[in-house]
Amino acid sequence: MKPSHVLISHLFNQLPITAKVKQRKELEKIKIFLSKTMKDSLLFIHLKQNRLLMAFDNPIICNEFNKYHTKKLAQDLKCYQEVFGFLPEDLKICGYVPLNKLKSYTREEEPIFITSFHEPARGHFINHATTPSLHAKFEALRQVILEQQC
Q: Taking Cα atoms as reference points, which of 33, 35, 40, 41 lies closest to residue 93?
A: 33
- What does the DSSP 8-state code read for residue 69? I
Q: Taking Cα atoms as reference points, which of 64, 142, 127 lies closest to residue 97?
A: 64
Residue 58's CB: how many other CB atoms inside 10 A?
19
Bigger pLDDT: 85 vs 1 = 85
Rounded CA separation 20/30 (Å): 16
Q: Percentage of residues in the chain with pLDDT exceeding 70? A: 95
Q: Over the chain, what is the mean pLDDT?
A: 85
What is residue 104's three-state secondary structure?
coil
Query: What pTM did the predictor assign?
Result: 0.59
Rounded CA separation 111/121 (Å): 31
List, for residues 18-60, the tens digit of each pLDDT value.
Answer: 777 788 888 898 998 889 999 999 999 998 889 999 999 999 9
**CB-CB contact of 84 with 77 (8 Å):** yes
